[in-house]
Structure 1
Amino acid sequence: MSFAVPVVDVSAYVRDGSPGERAAVAAALDEACRTVGFIQVVGHGVPAAVADGLAGAMDAFFAQPLEVKNAWRTPPEVNRGYSPPKSESLSLSLGVEAATRMNDFFEAFNVGASQASYPHAPGLPQPDYAENTWPDVAGFRPAVEAWSAEAGRVARTLTRVFADALGLAPDFFARITDHSLDVLRMNNYALPEGTVRLDGDLTGMGEHTDYGIVTVLWADQVAGLQVLGTDGGWHDVVPADGALLVNLGDVTARLTNERWMSTLHRVKPPIIDGTIQRRRSAAFFHDGDVEAVVAPLPECLAPGEEPRYLPVTIGEHIAAKLRGSRAGVVNTAADREAARVLAARR
């Protein structure tokens, strides 16, 4: 069976199309979420200039010497700032012990929604809503903030489609994303010579599922991203021209009782003539309110079907995942996801 990531045009929701047009989009997205969990989203309305600005900002930051970038590191519990190569193991967010032997070699810079982003909701817990640390790179902050605003708009557009596709109240996702734990993670896979050893089994970013509701990904059209298909094999995925790659996170899988898939994915480094080919990506994670409680929704349970998950707050769930990826503490609450990783490895 061939593997393909479905293309879904969401312009009917961006321009407030007719009920029939929106219903067709919702049906197409429901099919994609049931069968693949990754979508090539077009018709999103993000200006090309904003994407170009993001790419330029990333290039300017990551081109700096490592000792300069390290000045923008934060403690593991603060999901902001710079992460140098081999400082994280994404597979540990799923509780896979073997990942401790192979830290991921990507470098990243994170920004996210802070208390200042939500003045209407005072007293948000820290460090969940930590203030950002902005590097002293000309034009970096305005370019990144412009992209974050567009990616956030796309994410919220998609959750409107989600609600229609699942037969939920139109404002269902709005009620759990009033002060969403949103994070933009900018990744770079072009590392200086000698940083890693080309031993034939490098991991740019280990197998993992995303943590929240939905991820909106900008990426170079360079090979590396791989998605685990229902056939148990890993498949290469490259964004189509003008498309944003979108995938579901664990919160949505929990809400739908796995009617929709939080798909395992990883990055295997593209190596050409013994050199790692440069690859960049920027993932906008739309995760939901820290105190929102998520559990399988009655609308997503078939008659007689049992919930696969116990209720948990979004904050508790994401904290466990981050303790795995950033602090190296195995996530023991991810048994279902870990089983899928181990089955794929076999």
Structure 2
Amino acid sequence: MNTIPVVDLSAVRSGNGVYDTAAALDKALRTVGFVQITGHGIDPAVFTAAYDAMTALMGESDDVRAALRDPSGHPFYGLVPRELDGRVVYHQFELNAHPSPDAARAAGIPEEYLSHFRTNLFPDHLEGFRAAMQGCFDAMRNFAPRLLALLAVAVGMPPTFFEKYMERESTSFGVGDYPHREWIPADTEILPWHTDRETLVNMLHQRGTYEGLEIRTLAGDVVRLPLVEDALAVNVGDLFERWTGGRWRGTPHHVVSGERGEWRQSIVTFCAPDVTRVIQPLDPAGGRIDPLAEPFNVFELALDLPRPVA
């Protein structure tokens, strides 16, 4: 049975081992579909602060939580409840790099794309909540270019290849809270099997008392993602699968419940490029752009998102 590879980025942070590290990431994504990275240099305190802020929010009343739900049901803004049999199983608090349509407009996003964006929502009566969430999101976004540079090298492109696509990124960020529910048996699927659609690469941090994320590897095995202290689990989305001509594929994964009294929390950053950028896929062998492949953009991949009527 496959295990999830672990790649240490410590050497890369000092300018060494770039090509070997890129090759290790490439191998993991081509053979398993997920990889855990350590040595990323993100201060563990930013994760702790975001988790603690989420715990505080979960202690608030139903009315407070309901006020943080985006009215359109957009999944990348506000507090998103996930239900099973009509009852809430877990919540995820979501932010986007564009905090509002007006902010996206000010960043130069044309009017025809603004329906992709909503407004970030915060419970500002909770002291420190906004700072904790935004601080963790910022730390993850600041790290992402270093990871994308390695992935560019892994597909034979210059380290700066993805930079222009991320100048007006539509990256989103979520903190999930998965408490124990007495009415849910252990190993019940609480987040269905899926791949991540309109994202390049996802970075997941997790803590808790059980391993709840299961992955269907490219070999067809189902394995659980281990809890590796301060590691970021990395996988690519469907967008990157198309971009790399299928060299890397979106790997199916889901979440299951734990035993009585067990819980988990997660922090995930969905790195997504400028929704307006036309993306010309790469040759799957790497090192060049495929002129015969069909171009696309993020907006087209997300056409079925809830969007306000203009």
User: TM-score, normalising length from structure 2?
Assistant: 0.86
Q: Residue 52 of structure 1 aligns with which residue?
A: 48
The CA deviation at 1:171 is 2.1
| Structure 1 residue corresponding to 2:257, chosen from 266, 269, 272 | 269
Q: Which ranges in structure 2 are unaligned for 5 or more consecutive residues?
A: none
The amino acid across from 1:214 in the alignment is V
Q: For residues 229-251 of structure 1, what are the alpha-carbon distances to aligned partners after superposition, in whole Å with 9 as ceiling and x for unaligned? A: 23323211123122111111111
Q: Is the counterpart of residue 76 in structure 1 residue 73 in structure 2?
A: yes
Q: Residue 176 of structure 2 aligns with which residue?
A: 187
Q: Residue 223 of structure 1 aligns with which residue?
A: 211
The CA deviation at 1:271 is 2.2
Q: For residues 201-231 of structure 1, what are the alpha-carbon distances to aligned partners after superposition, in whole Å with 9 as ceiling and x for unaligned? A: 7322111111210111111142110000233
* Percent identity between the two aligned chains: 29
The amino acid across from 1:179 in the alignment is R
Separation in 2 of the partners of 1:302 and 1:53? 40
| Structure 2 residue corresponding to 1:113, chosen from 97, 108, 114 | 97
The amino acid across from 1:297 in the alignment is L
Separation in 2 of the partners of 1:302 and 1:120? 31
Aligned residues: 299
The CA deviation at 1:256 is 1.1
| Structure 2 residue corresponding to 1:147, chosen from 136, 142, 145 | 136
Separation in 1 of the partners of 2:291 and 2:204? 33
Q: For residues 19-50 of structure 1, what are the alpha-carbon distances to aligned partners after superposition, in whole Å with 9 as ceiling and x for unaligned? A: xx111111111111111121111110011211
The CA deviation at 1:287 is 1.0
* Partner secondary structure for residue 246 of structure 2: coil
The amino acid across from 2:200 in the alignment is I
Relative to structure 1, the CA distance from residue 245 to residue 104 in structure 2 (aligned partners, 3 Å threshold; closer, same or farther) is farther
Separation in 2 of the partners of 1:246 and 1:230? 15
Higher strand share: 2
Equivalent residues of 1:8, 1:39 under 8 A apart: yes
| Structure 2 residue corresponding to 1:206, chosen from 177, 192, 206 | 192
Q: Which ranges in structure 1 are unaligned for 5 or more consecutive residues?
A: 88-100, 327-346
Q: For residues 76-129 of structure 1, what are the alpha-carbon distances to aligned partners after superposition, in whole Å with 9 as ceiling and x for unaligned? A: 246310112318xxxxxxxxxxxxx89983211111111547955355632423
Separation in 1 of the partners of 2:105 and 2:22? 30
Relative to structure 1, the CA distance from residue 122 to residue 234 in structure 2 (aligned partners, 3 Å threshold; closer, same or farther) is closer
Equivalent residues of 2:247, 2:284 under 8 A apart: no
The amino acid across from 1:251 in the alignment is L
Q: Residue 269 of structure 2 aligns with which residue?
A: 284
Q: For residues 233-287 of structure 1, what are the alpha-carbon distances to aligned partners after superposition, in whole Å with 9 as ceiling and x for unaligned? A: 3211123122111111111111112111211110011123xx5x21111111001
Relative to structure 1, the CA distance from residue 121 to residue 240 in structure 2 (aligned partners, 3 Å threshold; closer, same or farther) is same
| Structure 2 residue corresponding to 1:241, chosen from 205, 208, 229 | 229
Separation in 1 of the partners of 2:186 and 2:23? 42
The CA deviation at 1:198 is 2.6
Relative to structure 1, the CA distance from residue 40 to residue 102 in structure 2 (aligned partners, 3 Å threshold; closer, same or farther) is farther
Separation in 2 of the partners of 1:117 and 1:8? 35
Separation in 1 of the partners of 2:104 and 2:39? 27
Q: Is the counterpart of residue 316 in structure 1 residue 300 in structure 2?
A: yes
* Partner secondary structure for residue 131 of structure 1: coil
Separation in 1 of the partners of 2:246 and 2:300? 19
* Partner secondary structure for residue 166 of structure 2: coil
Relative to structure 1, the CA distance from residue 53 to residue 263 in structure 2 (aligned partners, 3 Å threshold; closer, same or farther) is same
The amino acid across from 1:107 in the alignment is H
Separation in 2 of the partners of 1:202 and 1:65? 26
Q: Residue 335 of structure 1 aligns with which residue?
A: none
Q: Residue 34 of structure 1 aligns with which residue?
A: 30
The CA deviation at 1:186 is 1.2
| Structure 1 residue corresponding to 2:127, chosen from 132, 138, 153 | 138
Separation in 1 of the partners of 2:267 and 2:107? 28
Q: Residue 331 of structure 1 aligns with which residue?
A: none
Separation in 2 of the partners of 1:43 and 1:253? 26
Separation in 1 of the partners of 2:252 and 2:30? 14
Q: Is the counterpart of residue 254 in structure 1 residue 242 in structure 2?
A: yes
Separation in 2 of the partners of 1:287 and 1:103? 31
The CA deviation at 1:200 is 6.3
